[in-house]
Amino acid sequence: MVPSKFNIIIPSEAGDLQYTLYNTFSDSQARIGSDVLALLESGDKIEAKKNKNILAKYGDDLSELGFLVKSKRDEDKTVKDWFYQKQKDRDELLITVIPTYDCNLRCVYCFQSDLDHSQKSANISKETILRLAEWAGERMDSTHPKRLLLLLYGGEPLLRKRDILVLSALISDEARKRAVEMEIKIITNGTLLDPDFVNSLLPFGIKSVKVTIDGTRDHHDQLRIRQKGRKTFDLIINNLLKTKDKLRFTVGSNYNLENFESIPSLFDYLIEIGLRDSISNVNFRPIFQGGGGYSCDICSFSESHPSVQFWLSKEAQKRGLDSMDLLSLGPCGFHKRDAYTIDPAGKIYKCEGLVGIPGAEIGDLNTRDIEEKSSNFIDRFNWSGKCGECKYLPICGGGCRYWAYVKTGDYFGVACEQKYFDSAVKEIIPERQGFKA
Ligand code: SF4
Ligand code: SF4
């Protein structure tokens, strides 16, 4: 028996059980005293004879909860198998499409403002739409998913409503022929969301959209503005009210030290105007300095303030709103073999964070061995490096490729999240329910 390398020990309360023990792989937690702590810290190999009494008392529970494992090698293999299993899961085919890089807003922190002008004005063509629908059919024939998720992203995707309708109809047709259930989600700034458009997409499986609202009206209107500085808060709220009976919303808020305290008031306002039942969850992300704003929902937290994240999460819960689990971040969509992001020109990337990074594409809509290229790309994960040895690997998944590129210039580099996790586990774990003492 050896202690799991994914054990985290957090000093908690005075008394007999003064430590909280958490395991990032099994997601188990327990309160322990100094006797168990000494056992877990007694070295890489636990001597059965010397620890006979304490093992007799706690050994089975500690093994069952994943705090003690057979051997280091055995645990490494189990984690790799779990990771590979997640990569290979073929139930869902995820196709993210960027119909345009253009946007009708000029949010002050937008990372896409880093793209050059030719990229920004690129829109998807009719030829690419036709080929993309065919390609989606070919992917379904090859991977036999139960479910196809079509995620529309941008730029602002709703600048291309006509293209979205044509693409959704064509892909829906391909899915129907193969009895694959299809769902559409849109990530939008919300300014162009309207009931007619939503009605047209209902037959193809639209169920939800994600919109961004950065705090209360005053705060939001300083950050998320139109090209000529016009405000957007009221417009977005009206559009949500007009479509609330047809859709579920995820409301994302970007925060900095100026606006974060206003976010709970935003929750109150959304509830007051009758949107609570239409909101499936809320999430919040820091506005990064020097690297941009959005890549995907989980991405990086390394520059965030765990106590702010945690506070916002509790404020949401108090109001009956679900928020993301701050310790269930990875492995992210990048690691999934059947996840692809298609840019307006038909280039294919592993995830939306890598779009536009020179050389990060894995092919285009005519690349024959795209599955192999996808697998080769994600297989470059370095198990023998820093991440392979890290106690946070099961919840971090090695970090975001986009942020690795921003921070190291190499999208296979490491943009380490350890600082965030060190603080986050201390805040979150002792507050979670279900301790085993
Ligand atoms: S690599 Fe980054 S942007 Fe891409 S799916 Fe993962 S967290 Fe998101
Ligand atoms: S990026 Fe950092 S925190 Fe994440 S698995 Fe790698 S070493 Fe651990």
User: Could you give the percent of the chain with pLDDT greater than 90?
Assistant: 57
Q: Which of 12-21, 128-137, 319-328 has the lowest mean pLDDT?
A: 12-21
Residue 19, pLDDT > 70, answer: yes
Nearest CA owner, ligand 1 atom 2? 400
Residue 194, pLDDT > 60, answer: yes
At residue 258, the pLDDT reads 85
At residue 91, the pLDDT reads 95
Q: Which of 47-51, 192-196, 368-372 has the lowest mean pLDDT?
A: 47-51
Q: Which atom of ligand 1 is found nearest the CA of 334?
A: 5
At residue 436, the pLDDT reads 43
Q: What's the average model confidence in pLDDT over 353-357?
A: 86
293: confidence class by pLDDT, cuts 50, 70, 90: very low
Q: Is the CB of 351 under 6 A from ligand 1?
A: yes
Q: Which CATH class is domain 85-335?
A: alpha beta
Q: Is the CB of 30 under 6 A from ligand 1?
A: no
Tell me which of 42 and 238 has the higher pLDDT: 238
Mean pLDDT of the chain: 88
Q: Is the CB of 294 under 6 A from ligand 1?
A: no
At residue 302, the pLDDT reads 59
Which of 87, 296, 328, 362 to mutate to test ligand 1, by most ligand atoms within 8 A of the CB atom? 296
Residue 195, pLDDT > 90, answer: yes
At residue 43, the pLDDT reads 76
Nearest CA owner, ligand 2 atom 2? 416
Q: Which of 134-143, 226-235, 261-270, 379-388 has the lowest mean pLDDT?
A: 379-388
State pTM to two decimals.
0.90
CATH code 3.20.20.70 region(s) in the chain:
85-335
What's the 35 CA to ligand 1 centre distance in angstroms?
41
At residue 379, the pLDDT reads 84
Q: Is the CB of 333 under 6 A from ligand 1?
A: yes
At residue 134, the pLDDT reads 98
Which range scores top for mean pLDDT: 208-212, 307-311, 385-389?
A: 208-212
Which of 25, 384, 417, 420 to mutate to test ligand 2, by most ligand atoms within 8 A of the CB atom? 417
Return d(Cα 192, Cα 152) in angstroms, integer: 14
Tokens of 95: 């196709």
Tokens of 235: 């417009």
Buried b (16+ CB within 10 A) or exposed e, 268-307: ebbeeeebeebbebbbbbbbbeebbbbbbbbbbbbebbbe
What's the 98 CA to ligand 2 centre distance in angstroms?
29
Residues framing ligand 2 (Cβ under 6 A): 386-387, 390, 392-393, 396, 398-399, 414, 416-418, 421
Ligand nearest to the CA of 300: 1
Residue 433, pLDDT > 70, answer: no
